[in-house]
Amino acid sequence: MPLRNHEHLFEIVTTMSSDFAPWGERMPISGGCIQPDCSDGCRFFNRLVGSAGLHWGVCLSQQSPRSGILTYQGFGCAQFERRHEDDYDMQENETSSGGTDGR
């Protein structure tokens, strides 16, 4: 993603006190342990399409203060849950008809 687009998203994104510092007030290290952020495989972090999805997405956790809004992968959230292999969407070449091409 071009740097200007990345910077533009930072200009329009809503930051919250629950985000990790330097964007919010939460510290990414607590009790000597590094807390995971959205980029660490949170099952609720739905990446944007295209190159913007390398760093940006929308939080789908209903319990998160970031629910349903533009989120930078480094913001983090107390509702983090690790994504499991079966949480991933279907592969692009699969279809709802069982992966056949209809012939």
Write out pLDDT tens, residues 27-53.
Answer: 888 888 888 888 888 999 999 998 888
Nearest to 70 by CA among 46, 100, 86, 99: 46
Highest mean pLDDT among 45-54, 56-65, 75-84: 56-65
Q: Which H or E run includes 46?
A: strand 45-47
Q: Whole-model pTM?
A: 0.72
Report whether pLDDT(63) > 90. Answer: yes
45 neighbors 66 (Cβ within 8 angstroms)? no
Top pLDDT among 16 and 35 is at: 16
Q: Which residues contact 36 (CB under 8 A, 6 or more apart)?
A: 42, 76, 80, 82
DSSP-derived letter for residue 90 is P
Query: Where residue 89 falls among pLDDT bands split at 50, 70, 90?
Result: low
